[in-house]
Amino acid sequence: MTYTSIQTLNSEKYTYQIRVAHLYGDLMNTYGDNGNILLLKYIAEKLGAATTFKIVSLGDNFKKNDYDLVFWGGGQDFEQEVIAEDLYRISSELKAYIEAEKPLLSICGGYQMLGEYYINASGKKILGTGVLPHYTKNLGNNRFIGDIETHNEEFNETYYGFENHSGITYLAGEEKPLGLVIYGGGNNPDDHSEGLHYKNTYGTYFHGPILSRNPRLAYRLIKTAILQKYPNAEISEFNSLFKNLESEQIKDYKRKVEKH
């Protein structure tokens, strides 16, 4: 299904065309994750790219060359169990997509399902795609809930958000965290990591939605998508277009945290 309501109008006027797959978008869209879609569209259009968004859900096929960007939102345990049965359809092409260094962002339940498995709060093991090696256990009757702040040293970027999960994730193999926790819970209670970074694939527990709070991450995803498809593209610097967007969001977060 294509979201006709949010595709770029007059797309022929744009230099680039970016096709986004929203994995299981009709089932996994917890805590306003669709706001991430709107921010991707906003950033893409400012950078000269028209966007289309297609939900790839139960019974649909996914082909790596049909998309320039993949987004997989958060979901509750129930939806995760429903989609688990369908993952065999997309796993091998999704692996090829990721290994080809194409960009992907996964949130919370989507991030968990990208990995090996998720043991939910009632102890049931739900198998993920197995495309990446991280795995998820749970905090039992507890949850990590609240504001969160992390820092990524490689990008020298700080991320701000809100988390709400009982799943606790452990990275494995060549996976790196998206950030180290400054404030909040993160992936698990043991290693101060938050989220995942592997090639141009990212995972995170941040809702909020993450991209409206952290437009640098949205910029990175769109820039990667454009340059993968149009290697000679000239992309404006982040600061020339999006600096105000970022400072407004950081101000809003800091005001909240100072009240704690």
Candidates 9-17, 163-171, 193-201, 220-228 — which segment interacts with ligand GLN by CB under 6 A?
163-171
Beta bridge partners of 195: none
Q: Stretches 17-25, 70-78, 88-96, 185-193: which one binds ligand GLN (CB under 6 A)?
A: 70-78
Considering the complex, state which of residue 48 and residue 130 has its C-beta at the smaller distance from ligand GLN: 130
Minimum distance, C-beta of residue 259 to ligand GLN, in the bound complex (Å): 24
Rule CB under 6 A: is residue 74 a binding residue for ligand GLN?
A: yes
Contact status: 184 vs ligand GLN (CB under 6 A): no
- Tell me phi and psi for residue 86, to 5 degrees: -100, -10
If one asks whether residue 56 binds ligand GLN (CB under 6 A), the answer comes out as no
Considering only residues 3 through 42, tell me which ones interact with ligand GLN, judged by CB under 6 A. 30
Q: Which two tokens stand for residue 27?
A: 């089932």
> Going by DSSP bridges, is the β-strand pair 179-183/167-170 parallel, antiparallel, or unpaired?
unpaired
Rule CB under 6 A: choose which of 68, 77, 116, 194 binds ligand GLN. Answer: 77
98 three-class SS: helix
CB of 251 to ligand GLN, least distance (A): 26
86 near 59, Cβ under 8 Å?
yes
- Cβ-based nearer residue to ligand GLN, 51 or 214: 214
How many Å apart are CA 157 and CA 80, to the nearest integer?
30
Tell me how far, at minimum, the Cβ of 46 lies from ligand GLN, in Å: 29
With contacts defined by CB under 6 A, name the span among 57-65, 73-81, 82-90, 152-160 that binds ligand GLN: 73-81
DSSP letter for 87, please: G
Q: State the Cα–Cα distance between residues 118 and 116, nearest whole angstrom.
A: 7
CA distance 125 to 132: 17
Locate 59 and state its tokens: 């019974």
> Which segments within 153-250 are labelled E, that is strand?
157-165, 167-170, 179-183, 193-194, 196-198, 201-204
Kindly report the length of the chain: 260
Annotated catalytic residues are: 108, 207
Of positions 25, 75, 177, 215, contacts ligand GLN by CB under 6 A? 75
Interface ranges with ligand GLN (CB under 6 A): 30, 74-77, 80, 108-109, 164-167
